[in-house]
Amino acid sequence: MKPLVVEKAQAEKWLEELCRVFDVFCPVKVKGDLYQWGRLGKKGLPRIPEGVPKTTIKTFFFPQPEVLFEFGARPGLKDAFRLKEPVCEKRPRLLFGVRPCDARSVVLNSMPYEEDPYFQKNRDETTMVGFLCKDGCSTCFCTWTGGSPLGMEGMDLAVVELEDGALFLEPITEKGLGLLEFDFFREPTEEEEVFVKGLREKVNKDAEETSSRLRSKGLMDLYNAPFWQEVSDACINCGTCTFLCPTCYCFDIQDETLRGKGRRIRYWDSCMFPLFTQHASGHNPRGDKLKRVRNRFMHKLKYFPDRFGPVSCVGCGRCVRDCPVNIDIRQVLARMLEV
Ligand code: SF4
Ligand code: SF4
């Protein structure tokens, strides 16, 4: 599919057209350098910050909370326990300004959620316009985990911001191509093609094959490695790392009932919380902190790659940036690779 270019002024009109069809979301400034995903507010092109916003796009695919179904449980009535899909009238969604690591997280989450109709429906109803990265931040490490600042996995349309504010657009899927059915675009000039090619050449192609190195490690060697005590000592099990992580997808299910009717709801949960694994008997197989911290890293960096191939981390750096006690997954990864 051929790339096209849209000038800055025309891009604003293009986005206005897209808003007629889609609910458009983008990184929204909260204060200072703090951005979160939210609905596109004022007119004009939003500023897409370097690096990733504080929150992730997983909330669009794995909402917090998500009603799975509703039920009527009034005894004595014919329709007692009849199940009903929740009615939710919404327009298709467009995510504008997704960074490559976050777009890739949706591809990774689709692996365990392949059979999950809720996740897959949300994915079908969402179109992703990704913005490729020219500069990352100090906590980004996507190339360690199989990604790239110019990676396009998971995107429908990839955007490179040119020096003068124009946008270089590469459609990747039919959905992405559909976004370009307007008269706002022109063919790229030779200089623009050279500029984008130059960016691609700058990306480190010698990134380590981390996942295959981890797959070759013995499971029990990593599980019994001596460093887990030290890694877990500082952790306060706050769950910040898992709630901010685009590739953490643990959940809890609860039924809420009121006057004979109810709904079953899926909420985000975290393997860092003691109750997450507590059985009804009171036994807890991950009852102490070391076991929970070890599980978080082993799941991402050993169990997931053993089962699906890639590591379940896209190197966005959110957990590094926001852990209150400075636990850094890059240091843990380095220690796991030494075993
Ligand atoms: S953010 Fe840090 S302290 Fe909180 S649970 Fe995660 S590793 Fe532990
Ligand atoms: S583990 Fe940390 S760096 Fe990796 S994807 Fe999750 S939040 Fe980002």
- The set of residues, in sequence order, having a beta carbon less than 8 Å from that of 259 and lying 6+ positions away, is none
Residue of the nearest CA to atom 6 in ligand 1? 241
For residues 238 and 191, membership in a common domain is answered with: no
**If you average pLDDT over every residue of the chain, what do you get?**
93
Residue by residue, DSSP assigns 121-151 as: HHHHTEEEEEE--SS--TT--GGGGT--TT-
Three-state DSSP at 57 gives coil
Asked whether residue 179 falls in the same domain as residue 251, the answer is no
77 domain-assigned: no
Choose among 14, 156, 45: nearest CA to 93.
156
Whether 186 maps to a domain, the answer reads yes
The last residue of a domain, from among 205, 232, 265: 205
Query: Exposed e or buried b for every residue in 71-106, given b needs 16+ CB within 10 A?
Result: beeeeeeeeeeeeeeeeeeeeebbbbbbbbbbbbbb
190, 217: one domain: no
Q: Are residues 140 and 199 in the same domain?
A: yes
- Ligand 1 centroid – CA 46 distance (Å): 32
**Same domain? 157 vs 119:** yes
Question: What domain range is 187 assigned to?
Answer: 4-70+83-205
Please report the atom of ligand 2 found closest to the CA of residue 241.
Answer: 7
Same domain for 219 and 149? Answer: no
Ligand 1 centroid to residue 229 C-alpha, Å: 14
Ligand 1 neighbour 239 (Cβ under 6 A): yes
Does 206 score more than 60 pLDDT? Answer: no
Query: What's the whole-model pTM score?
Result: 0.93
Cα–Cα distance, 319 to 322 (Å, whole number): 5
- Residue 200: pLDDT band (50, 70, 90) is confident
Q: Is residue 278 within 6 Å of ligand 1 at its C-beta?
A: no
Using pLDDT thresholds of 50, 70 and 90, give the confidence band for residue 287: very high
Q: Which of 247, 320, 323 to mutate to test the pocket of ligand 2 (most atoms within 8 A of CB)?
A: 247
217 and 274 co-located in one domain: yes
The answer to whether residues 193 and 145 belong to one domain is yes
Does residue 91 sit in the same domain as residue 115?
yes
Span from the CA of 306 to the centroid of ligand 2 (angstroms): 18
How many structural domains compose the chain? Answer: 2
pLDDT at 80: 59
> Which carries the bigger pLDDT value, residue 200 or residue 277?
277
Averaged pLDDT for residues 304-328: 97
Whether 192 and 221 map to the same domain: the answer is: no
178-187 pLDDT per residue, tens: 999 999 999 9
Ligand in closest contact with the CA of 233: 1
**Centroid of ligand 2 to alpha carbon of 246 (angstroms):** 7
Tally of CA atoms within 13 A in the half-sphere of 144 that contains its CB: 17
Does residue 313 line the site of ligand 1, with CB under 6 A? no
Cα–Cα distance, 269 to 204 (Å, whole number): 36
Distance 142 CA to ligand 1 centre (A): 20
For ligand 2, atom 6, the nearest C-alpha belongs to: 245
Task: Examine residue 262 and state whether it is found in any structural domain, yes or no.
Answer: yes
Bigger pLDDT: 325 vs 72: 325
Gap from CA of 228 to ligand 1 centroid (Å) = 14
pLDDT, mean of residues 161-172: 94
Return the pLDDT at 44: 82
Which of 164, 189, 205 delimits the end of a domain? 205
Residue 136, pLDDT score = 78
pLDDT at position 28 is 95
**Mean pLDDT in residue range 170-192:** 96
What are the tens digits of pLDDT across the range 42-55?
778 899 999 999 99
Q: State the pLDDT at residue 39.
A: 95
